[in-house]
Each structure stands twice: as structure tokens, then as C-alpha cells.
């Protein structure tokens, strides 16, 4: 008798959840990504106990069609890619078809969705199985409520930090969504108190004022430029507003918040000698590029990417920041010594 068995679905989903659902903020991230991919222009997130008691995300996006509802919770089930070619030309934030399956394996989930303004559907899912379904409100869009996160994975629950820290991580993720999608109206509420509210009017300066305060928003310099492969736009704060860590530098590639050491270096190089040692700037930079030039399938959380022609992009970013600060007369022009 062989020893190898295929894992049952619930166990397989829990293993995936170990990577995708690290903490409450990961659930918020995955659900908001889905709302953005569904074309919503208004997205509301409400949390209780920093998401451990509940996370409710509602949107006015496309909704999910009735026949797709059970599939949405399936593992490796997605409407976003279909072919091998698609995997290397990702235009959406999601594509792995893993988030809902993972989340439903470590919490109790209620989905309310309506795809056509006529009839809405509600399902409750527990241990990856639909346990209840009924008809519900008929307004186009989706609401997903995640309750009792990690109730069945005590080890993960123990790993979760204080509510204060976890709410901070949620706020952080929402701030970055707001900066990368200034055309979407975002609301974040914690215990009924509003933590973030943006207008969705497309003005990055206004979003940055919400996130970092007016003093910084008044001292932002716009950058904008392109090469054949990359288009870069954004705002960089004048160097008097430095911070003690890299956390205030937000980089987005095709609308996705990413972390990239080399691009961070390129930003710092753009500030030249204006940054004191050990201090970092406040910036939000949007990079638009052919999705074929970036591989986002590096890690389950999709925050790491591999870029083709990275040096070209680094030079562009450094030069744009240099020029912008030069325009503000912050960098003295080089003079050739006699
Ligand atoms: P992925 O986003 O990688 O496709 P998910 O598990 O996050 O995988 O979602 C599975 C599918 O459920 C999505 O492909 C999408 O079709 C559907 N879906 C999830 N959330 C929403 C939403 N808020 N609005 C519309 N469709 C959604
Ligand atoms: Mg998704």
C-alpha cells in the first residue's frame, strides 16, 4: 500500500491560508483587491476588534453571477485569468483564485452579491462549505463579511499582535489603496469610527493630505515622465519632511502596491544629498508598464515583483525626482570647478 494521499479540500485550503491570510490586514487586502478588480468606485471597509471579530467589505462593483457563487470559494478558481499567456500579462490585482478559498477555511464568511440589480443572493460559508443560502437585497455590488477570523487555527490567532498593531496594519493597507486608486471613494471604519475617508475625486494631493496631513500635502512636488517602457507619475515631498524609515515611500506598479529594494534606492538617489543619513522621504509613485514586463507571480501576497529592464526604470525615477527638486531649487546646479 502506498503512503501518499491527496489532501482533502479543507486541509489544502488551510495550508494555502497559512501563506495568504497572515493576519486581519491580509483579509482586508484580498477583499479590497477583489472589489477594485470588480470595477467598484466606492468601497467601504468596517472592522471590529481590528478585524478579529469581523471585517465587512462592501462595493458597488460588478457583483457575482448566481452560477459563479459556489465557484468563487473554490481553490484555484478565478474569473481573471484563463490561459498561460494571461498569467504573464496580469492586468488585475487578483489572479491566483486563492483568497476566498483560503479566507473561508479560517473564518465564517457571509457573501451578499447582486450582478444585475434585480435579485441578490446571500450565502454563508463555513469550513469551505456553503451552509446556508437565501435571496437578499438587489443592489448591484458585493458585500463580504468575515467573522471569527482564525477561530479554528489557534496557533495563528496567538501570533496576531495587539489590536492596536493589527488596526495599524489595516489602516496602512487602506492608505496605500487610497493613494494608488485616487478615483475610488474609500471608507475605513473601526468600531463605527471613521479612520479613513477619501472623496474619490482623483486628486492624489488630497488623498496624501488625508494620509499624511496637510503640512506634507502642501509641500509635495509632482513628478511625471516616461521612457519607451515605463510611465512614472506621482508626488514627492520636499526633503525637509524626512522620516526615520522607508515606510513612507509607496511604489505602485499598474495599481499594485509593491516592495522593491532597487526602486527604493532609485528614489533615495533622486534626493541626492538632501536627505540626512538614516532619513527617508515621503513619496507616492505610480509606475505604468506593459504587464508583460513584470512578473507578479513571485509570492502568494503578490507584493514582490520581478521587473524586466529594472535599470532603465531606476534611472527614470532618479532623474524625475532630481529634476523635480531642481525645479524647486532644492538641489544646487553643478558648477564645474575652475
Ligand atoms: P482572484 O481574485 O485571484 O480571482 P479570489 O479568491 O479572490 O480570487 O476571488 C475568486 C473570484 O470571485 C474572483 O475571480 C471573482 O470572479 C469573484 N469575486 C470575488 N470578490 C468579488 C467582488 N467583490 N466582486 C465581484 N466578483 C468577486
Ligand atoms: Mg482576489
Task: Read off φ and ψ for residue 306, nearest 5 degrees.
Answer: -115, 130
CB 149, CB 27: distance < 8 Å: yes
Query: Among 143, 171, 197, which residue terminates a domain?
Result: 197
Number of domains in the chain: 2
Give residue 271's Cα distance to chain centre.
26
Query: Among 197, 224, 248, which residue terminates a domain?
Result: 197
Residue 308 covered by a domain: yes
Residue 193 shares a structural domain with residue 217: no
Give residue 69's Cα distance to chain centre.
23
Q: Give pLDDT tens digits for 160-170.
A: 889 999 999 99
Between the CA of 319 and the centroid of ligand 1 the distance, in Å, is 39
pLDDT mean over 192-201: 97
Residue 87 shares a structural domain with residue 167: yes
Nearest 5 degrees, angle CA 140-CA 144-CA 148?
Answer: 165
| Ligand 1, atom 14, residue with closest C-alpha | 78
Please check the confidence at residue 14 and state whether its pLDDT lies above 60: yes
Residue 167 covered by a domain: yes
So what's the pLDDT on residue 323?
95
Residue 101 sits in a domain whose CATH number is 3.30.565.10
Residue 224 shares a structural domain with residue 165: no
Q: Give pLDDT tens digits for 198-212.
A: 999 999 999 999 999
Task: Count Cα atoms within 13 angstroms, Cβ side, for 85.
Answer: 0
- Interatomic CA distance for residues 80 and 65, integer angstroms: 14
Q: What percent of the chain has pLDDT over 70?
A: 97
Residue 273 sits in a domain whose CATH number is 3.30.230.10
Please check the confidence at residue 338 and state whether its pLDDT lies above 70: no
Please check the confidence at residue 18 and state whether its pLDDT lies above 60: yes
**Residue 321 has which C-alpha cell?**
525626482
C-alpha separations of 125 from 112, 139, 177 in Å: 11, 21, 27
Residue 292 shares a structural domain with residue 184: no
Across all residues in the chain, what is the average pLDDT?
93
Query: Among 169, 197, 225, which residue terminates a domain?
Result: 197
Residue 332 covered by a domain: no
pLDDT mean over 21-26: 95
Between the CA of 72 and the centroid of ligand 1 the distance, in Å, is 6
The domain containing residue 59 runs over which residues?
9-197
So what's the pLDDT on residue 334?
58
Residue 248 shares a structural domain with residue 111: no
pLDDT mean over 288-306: 89
Residue 1 covered by a domain: no
Residue 138 shares a structural domain with residue 183: yes
So what's the pLDDT on residue 331?
62
Residue 292 shares a structural domain with residue 181: no
Residue 161 covered by a domain: yes
Residue 144 covered by a domain: yes
The pocket around ligand 1, CB under 6 angstroms, is made up of 30, 34-35, 38, 59, 61-64, 72, 78-80, 94-101, 142
**Among all chains, which residue has been given the C-alpha cell 541626492?**
272
pLDDT mean over 122-135: 94
Closest ligand 1 atom to residue 102 Cα is 6
C-alpha separations of 289 from 8, 254, 300, 338 in Å: 40, 7, 21, 43
Residue 179 shares a structural domain with residue 283: no
pLDDT mean over 323-334: 75
Please check the confidence at residue 335 and state whether its pLDDT lies above 80: no
Give 75's pLDDT tier (boundaries 50, 70, 90). Answer: confident
Residue 148 shares a structural domain with residue 72: yes
Residue 153 shares a structural domain with residue 103: yes
Residue 186 shares a structural domain with residue 271: no
Strand 249-253 relative to strand 283-289: parallel, antiparallel, unpaired? parallel
So what's the pLDDT on residue 103?
96
Q: What percent of the chain has pLDDT over 90?
A: 80
C-alpha separations of 115 from 62, 110, 226 in Å: 6, 16, 38
Residue 272 shares a structural domain with residue 188: no
Between the CA of 100 and the centroid of ligand 1 the distance, in Å, is 7
Please check the confidence at residue 123 and state whether its pLDDT lies above 90: yes
Nearest to 317 by CA among 220, 225, 208, 219: 225
So what's the pLDDT on residue 333?
60
Between the CA of 94 and the centroid of ligand 2 the distance, in Å, is 4
Amino acid at each position: 500500500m502506498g503512503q501518499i494521499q491527496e489532501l482533502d479540500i479543507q486541509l489544502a485550503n488551510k495550508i494555502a491560508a497559512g501563506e495568504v491570510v497572515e493576519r486581519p490586514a491580509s483579509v482586508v487586502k484580498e477583499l479590497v483587491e477583489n472589489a477594485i478588480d470588480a470595477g467598484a468606485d466606492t468601497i467601504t471597509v468596517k472592522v471590529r476588534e481590528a478585524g478579529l471579530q469581523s471585517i465587512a467589505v462592501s462595493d458597488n462593483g460588478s457583483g457575482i453571477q448566481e452560477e459563479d457563487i459556489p465557484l468563487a470559494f473554490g481553490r484555484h478558481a478565478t474569473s481573471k485569468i484563463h490561459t498561460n499567456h494571461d498569467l504573464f500579462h496580469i492586468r488585475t490585482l487578483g489572479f491566483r483564485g486563492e483568497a476566498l478559498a483560503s479566507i473561508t477555511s479560517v473564518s465564517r464568511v457571509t457573501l451578499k452579491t447582486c450582478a444585475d440589480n434585480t435579485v441578490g443572493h446571500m450565502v454563508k460559508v463555513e469550513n469551505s462549505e456553503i451552509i446556508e443560502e437565501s435571496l437578499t437585497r438587489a443592489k448591484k455590488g458585493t458585500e463580504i463579511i468575515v467573522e471569527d477570523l482564525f477561530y479554528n487555527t489557534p496557533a495563528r490567532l496567538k501570533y496576531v499582535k495587539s489590536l492596536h498593531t493589527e488596526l495599524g496594519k489595516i489602516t496602512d493597507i487602506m492608505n496605500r489603496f487610497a493613494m494608488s486608486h485616487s478615483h475610488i471613494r474609500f471608507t475605513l471604519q473601526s468600531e463605527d469610527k471613521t479612520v479613513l475617508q477619501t472623496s474619490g475625486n482623483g486628486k492624489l494631493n488630497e488623498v496624501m493630505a488625508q494620509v499624511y496631513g496637510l503640512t506634507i500635502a502642501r509641500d509635495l512636488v509632482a513628478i511625471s515622465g516616461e521612457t519607451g517602457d515605463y510611465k512614472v507619475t506621482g508626488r514627492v515631498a520636499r526633503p525637509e519632511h524626512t522620516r526615520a524609515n522607508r515606510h513612507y515611500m509607496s511604489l505602485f506598479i499598474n495599481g499594485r502596491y509593491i516592495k522593491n529594494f532597487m526602486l527604493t534606492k532609485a528614489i533615495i538617489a533622486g534626493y541626492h544629498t538632501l536627505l540626512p543619513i538614516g532619513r527617508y522621504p515621503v513619496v507616492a509613485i505610480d509606475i505604468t508598464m506593459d504587464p508583460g514586463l513584470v512578473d507578479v507571480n513571485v509570492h502568494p501576497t503578490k507584493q514582490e515583483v520581478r521587473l524586466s529592464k529594472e535599470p532603465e526604470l531606476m534611472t527614470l525615477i532618479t532623474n524625475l525626482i532630481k529634476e523635480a527638486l531642481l525645479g524647486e531649487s532644492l538641489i544646487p546646479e553643478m558648477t564645474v570647478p575652475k
